[in-house]
A = this chain, B = another copy of it.
Amino acid sequence: MATKKKRASGGGPSSMKRFQSAESQRRYARQAREAGKKIGFVPTMGAFHKGHLSLIRKARRQNDMVVVSIFVNPLQFGPDEDFDRYPRDLARDLDLAREAGIDAAFIPEPSELYPPAFSSKVTVGPLSERMCGAKRPGHFDGVCTVVLKLLGIVQPHRVYLGEKDAQQLVVLQRMVADLNVDVKVVSCPTVREKDGLAMSSRNAYLSPEHREQAGRLYEALRMAQREILMGQMRDPAKLESRMRGLITEESEIEIEYIEMVDPETLEPRPVLVGRVLIALAASLGETRLIDNITVNVPGGRMAEGFGSAAK
């Protein structure tokens, strides 16, 4: 493994391709497919951390070719959001990607994906309007639109998405199913810092003090998981209140939402049985963070009368 890495990142000529035009990336995909190669695709906004690299490595294991896109998508940022200051470090990203052994990087300019006449939009209904969508109107439309475009360009057999963005994952799975896109969505577990904070490119915004407080978010999710699994907690309102206490006590964290929902429909669970996605969003100063955990409550089958707990 170490040897491989060294070879890939060594001074010799790398075989990693870089494409800026959709047409050249697509020609590459067509050739790979004609040669019978399976293509794995990791769409990113760059500013790589270990989470991205875990997606790339999984794609590497499961496919013949791995394509990564690096594109900070203006369409998914609101007017008051951090599009301009979103971290960008293309040289470092490309080094890391090369080291991880990808075959091609697609790095389009915004004008390549959104030329002046561009006027189409992909929307996934109610799933997009809850949770993060309530605070970020249009965000998931932007995500769906760019991901559909990227899938049309990169033409992968499998696309790799992180579980940290739980709602994004559900929305994109819905889009892929609804629009009959011929790709398998592979979800990958969240990678965390030592204190449990979910890896995110936005963590770089945090002051040292805020960074320390940010660990509370995962702490609260783990507490909630324990309460449900060990303590027989079934009341979402009560559990949310305990989580709020843990997160906000002597911290500057402002909670945007804590939701306990069905992991597929994102509908609130009135009783904590079956599979429950506990998701939250919070701000620390200017920095917005999200995280989540999924709990499988034993006994859900009996309590609900169907097999959701057995999945």
Contact = CB atoms under 8 A, between A and B. Distances in A.
Contacts of A26: 180, 182
A124 interface: yes
A180 B149 contact: yes
Complex copy number for this chain: 2
A123 B124 contact: no
A181 B122 CA distance: 13
A182 B154 CA distance: 10
A27 B21 CA distance: 30
A41 to B, nearest CB: 13
Contacts of A181: 152
Contacts of A127: 119
Nearest to A181: B152
Contact of A120 (B120, B150, B174, B182): B174
Contact of A119 (B33, B152, B174): B174
A304 B268 CA distance: 59
Contact of A123 (B36, B121, B149, B177): B121
A91 interface: no
A180 B147 CA distance: 11
Nearest to A23: B180
Contacts of A175: 120
A125 interface: yes
A153 interface: yes
A158 B77 CA distance: 35
A190 interface: no
A2 interface: no
Contacts of A168: none
A145 B180 CA distance: 10
A124 B145 CA distance: 12
Interface string A91-120: 000000000000000000000000001111
A188 interface: no
A126 interface: yes
5 contacts: A30-B182, A117-B174, A119-B125, A120-B124, A149-B179
* 8 closest residue pairs by CB, A with B: A119-B125, A152-B180, A120-B178, A149-B180, A121-B123, A120-B124, A153-B180, A118-B178
